[in-house]
Structure 1
């Protein structure tokens, strides 16, 4: 009886973790095949509003100075409400920033002119003096690889934060109603694709706060109707709510490896292979610039 129960629980756990691992592996692999400069350079220039925290100073942008305005904010919602959407085509929202890539606005302009309405920029933690911050930088880049670059390579929308983003000004004013407004969900529910601009770099010295996460019960209630509508981008976002983080997956898989090996080692090889597969997936998602040469 105990042996049968153990086998049932073992199979359920293995199936759930393996399914999550395959999901992460597919997008981590796809992220390796990114294409730079996917949007052609356009001669048309759009007007930008750059919303930045009061302590941030943006310099050295290679874009006509009369076509962008840097506006500081202490309350982002109020700043968006006061924004004149008739004057600016695109609103760029940045968090606390050390500097940005000189061609940031040009990259956004090219994508916007090609039809992109919402774009997630590439945030990079530039100064990594401690192991903790270095680890946080790795964590952010793994998320960038799997949930952003990997997704757009598979023609799915990128994950979207509330900072380091560029969105059509008119749409932003109509949809940012409160500090808890989930812009990603609203974009996907309206079938608007979210692009990821991997070459549009935003540098800071600290990680960004994690975005608002939808409750699992809410995701369950929305998923069937979303699938019936054929809205695969939003269905993917809802499915992501059930996928544990890669750290949790590694922890659970490691514990299961030890337990299964101690109970019945003949059942353990698949668990050890799964653990190796998860580690391999995580390694694929880490960019080279964050890997120390002696550990590469």
Structure 2
């Protein structure tokens, strides 16, 4: 750790921003743990953005070496909270590092993020991973995140293109983040920021060993609502950015931006896998029916769909970390049909999903629960 600090050219000053809405259950412990970084204490400040916190929570936070910025909105949004906070705290920072109110960092995260900035990057995503694996849908949520980490973050960087942002555990040049966030007022603010900065030519780095623990939803309702909101936001971004992305690719060779735009229409893995399985099954029945004349009306045929399903399944299996290959994960996978049905139904109610503020309650403060 010390050698890494000595090698960097500059120890940047971090604003660790933790926006929270009614997060009384977890915020005090999370804020305390955020102060325990091995980074020089005078080079980072933990700032809790408190939206609708109880008085006793605020009193407990004021006893910690953190700054508390209280905000009140008629309609709460993470983007509003971040913008208001940066308006209040000023510009005496080099990096804005965003945490969710349930996130716990390993002690060397800021050191590793600073080293990435030293390599010339202005936007860096850390490795967000599951804090809790104590329910079937928490495991499915964790699997989804690790697949995304492997393909859209680590894999993309190996290919020389930008990592995806994920909304927390991410650090951006403070001036860049403040300027970009000033133009953002959406539910999926991380994707909007991602598209805007990549459009400008910035490359987003991914640091796989900068670990941030994130609480995974245990309830099927929360699991589906989250993804319904994400799908709605991503479809909005695809519609508003497709033409710009295509033109930027053709005229300027900005494949990075075009790639991000195309990612916006990719369905969640649970929907993709479930749909391919159902199509393979249905076309298999048609293929083996004793009516050859009927088969000509269905193309591609059964083996094409089966091959696509198998290839997708193999790709997803390769993207899952080895530690998830156990009995607990197998049992959690039995909940996939339920998740697929609920998510398919939720698509019928996707209209207006980005207009609603959906708060996900958190109940695991600082403990890491993998049992």
Q: TM-score range by the shorter chain?
A: 0.7 to 0.9
Verify the 8 A CA contact 1:96 1:204 in the aligned structure 2.
no
2:239 aligns with 217
2:89 aligns with 83
Shift of 1:135: 1.1
Structure-1 separation of matches of 2:311 and 2:49 = 45
Matches within 5 A, 1:1-296: 41-42=7-8, 44-53=10-19, 55=27, 56-57=30-31, 58-74=34-50, 75-85=81-91, 87-177=92-182, 178-180=184-186, 182-206=192-216, 212-215=233-236, 216-228=238-250, 229-265=252-288, 267-292=301-326
Structure-2 separation of matches of 1:274 and 1:41 = 47
Shift of 1:264: 2.1
Verify the 8 A CA contact 1:121 1:198 in the aligned structure 2.
yes
Structure-1 separation of matches of 2:240 and 2:5 = 36
Query: Could you report, residue by residue, the CA deviation over 1:219-242 in whole angstroms, capped at 9, with x for unpaired residues?
Result: 443333122221111000111123
2:369 aligns with none
Query: Could you report, residue by residue, the CA deviation over 1:81-109 in whole angstroms, capped at 9, with x for unpaired residues?
Result: 22322x21111010023521111111011
Q: Extract unaligned runs of 5+ from structure 1.
A: 1-37
Structure-2 separation of matches of 1:66 and 1:119 = 21
Structure-2 separation of matches of 1:263 and 1:62 = 62
Shift of 1:162: 2.8
Q: Extract unaligned runs of 5+ from structure 2.
A: 21-26, 51-80, 218-222, 289-294, 296-300, 331-371
Verify the 8 A CA contact 1:219 1:239 in the aligned structure 2.
no
Residues 214, 188 of structure 1: alpha-carbon distance in 2 compared, 3 angstrom cutoff? farther
TM (norm. structure 1) is 0.79
Query: Could you report, residue by residue, the CA deviation over 1:100-154 in whole angstroms, capped at 9, with x for unpaired residues?
Result: 1111111011111111100111111122111111111111111111111111111
Structure-1 separation of matches of 2:38 and 2:321 = 27
Verify the 8 A CA contact 1:97 1:202 in the aligned structure 2.
no
In terms of mean alpha carbon deviation, does 106-115 or 258-267 score higher? 258-267
Residues 48, 294 of structure 1: alpha-carbon distance in 2 compared, 3 angstrom cutoff? closer
Residues 245, 73 of structure 1: alpha-carbon distance in 2 compared, 3 angstrom cutoff? same
Query: Could you report, residue by residue, the CA deviation over 1:196-238 in whole angstroms, capped at 9, with x for unpaired residues?
Result: 1111111132359665424243344333312222111100011
Structure-2 separation of matches of 1:167 and 1:285 = 27
Calculate the aligned-residue CA RMSD, in Å. Answer: 2.6
Shift of 1:79: 1.1
Residues 293, 106 of structure 1: alpha-carbon distance in 2 compared, 3 angstrom cutoff? same
In terms of mean alpha carbon deviation, does 105-114 or 269-278 score higher? 269-278
2:69 aligns with none
TM (norm. structure 2) is 0.64
Structure-2 separation of matches of 1:192 and 1:64 = 28
In terms of mean alpha carbon deviation, does 236-245 or 259-268 score higher? 259-268
In terms of mean alpha carbon deviation, does 145-154 or 72-81 score higher? 72-81
